[in-house]
Amino acid sequence: MTMSIEVRDLELRYGNVTALDRLSFRLDGGKIHGLLGRNGSGKTSLLSVMAAFRRATSGDAWIDGQPVFENPDVASDICFIRGEGDTVVHDWPADRVKDALAFASTFRPAWDSDYATALVDRFRLPLKKRLGQLSRGQRSALGITLGLASRAPLTMFDESYLGMDAPSRYVFYDELLADFMAHPRTFVISTHLIEEVSSLFEEVVIIDEGQLVLHESAEELRARGAAVTGPTEQVARFAQGLTILGDKQLGPTRSVMVYGELDDGQIELARESGLELGPIALQDLFVHLTESRGRTS
């Protein structure tokens, strides 16, 4: 079961600060969406409104055509894991890992206990340990376990890797993809580790200063530029006049990230010059798009 999400003219203000500025977009169900933005761009605020953690100042978020805020028909279908997850940390004496799982199992209608147990094993989480005694990485792993095992039709993760080491983060990505294939649903993942996760994204939303910068399929986004690799001289000649986002030199070989879709003539020229064309790194595009926006604004 999957759910589509739509936000229309969404505005969220904290006093005089505008966190979301008339944001509108629609995310199809059954996909993994990446939500990217710089610090303070409004990602967490946006996800908080989409999960009914906050009421929008104006506009609303809609899940499968139903408003989200205070709607019991869709509330338990949405699982939003912020950072390390919101769980029973202050619920002494029932504040152990096993209590967090028990709490979620009571309120998550599609909760899969066997899968939760498997994730606990994969992340090596100590079931009897108090949440306050877990390391930050373990807390994050618990948040991920709560999010994935909820099997909520709309599951959102916001920086849910804090403190996790690289092997644990890769366990997260593997599990997310495997479980998405086995139980298709809608995921929204907000992250700063773009290169690590970008291969999972089918669609990407970039926001900045509370406004939509772009919403495209990851494929289209990557086609907005190219990585050009080859002998230094030829690469320099080819890249002349193009916008260069990144530049690496390894011995006689140079690799540049150019922004802008290449036309057939340029592709042919690259082939004749013995240059290799590859997809551009999403992270470089993200940096370019948000930096140039910052300069123009």
Partner 1 sequence: MTPQPGSWAIARHRLRLDTAAVVVLWIPFTLVVAAIYVLVGLYGNLSTSVWEQATQAPRWFAGGLGVYLTAVYLPLYITHGQTRRQFATQMPAFVVVLAALLAALITIGFAVERVVYDLGGWLQALERAHLFDGVDQYPVVLLEFWLVFMVWIAAGALVGAAFYRRPGLGLLLVPVVLAIVAAAELAVGTAFFGPFPEPLLTAAGVGLEARPIPVAVITCFTLAVVTAGLTWLVIRDLPIRSQAA
**What does the binding site for partner 1 look like in residue numbers (CB under 8 A)?**
1, 44, 48, 52-55, 64, 69-80, 82-84, 86-88, 90-91, 94, 103-104, 106-110, 152-153
Distances (CA, A) of 169 to 125, 138, 191, 217, 270: 14, 11, 12, 24, 37
User: Please, what is the minimum distance in Å from the beta carbon of residue 64 to partner 1?
Assistant: 8
CB of 9 to partner 1, least distance (A): 18
The least distance separating partner 1 from the CB of residue 70, rounded to whole angstroms, comes to: 5
Q: Which residues contact 23 (CB under 8 A, 6 or more apart)?
A: 7, 9, 10, 11, 42, 46, 59, 207, 210, 211, 212
Sheet strands side by side (includes 276-279): 243-250, 253-259, 225-231, 276-279
**Which amino acid, 35?**
L
**Alpha helices per DSSP H over the chain:** 43-50, 72-75, 97-107, 113-122, 136-149, 166-182, 194-197, 218-222, 232-239, 264-272, 282-296
- Closer of 74 and 204 to partner 1 (Cβ): 74
Q: Tell me whether residue 103 or residue 231 sits nearer to partner 1 (CB atom).
A: 103
Instruction: Round to whole Å and give the CA distance between 281 and 36.
Output: 14
Nearer to partner 1, 180 or 201 (CB): 180
Our CB check for partner 1 shows the closer of 74 and 285 to be 74
Residue in 19, 27, 24, 7 with CA at minimum distance from that of residue 44: 19
Closer to partner 1 at the Cβ: 80 or 238?
A: 80
Minimum Å distance from CB 151 to partner 1? 8
Minimum Å gap between C-beta 15 and partner 1 is 12
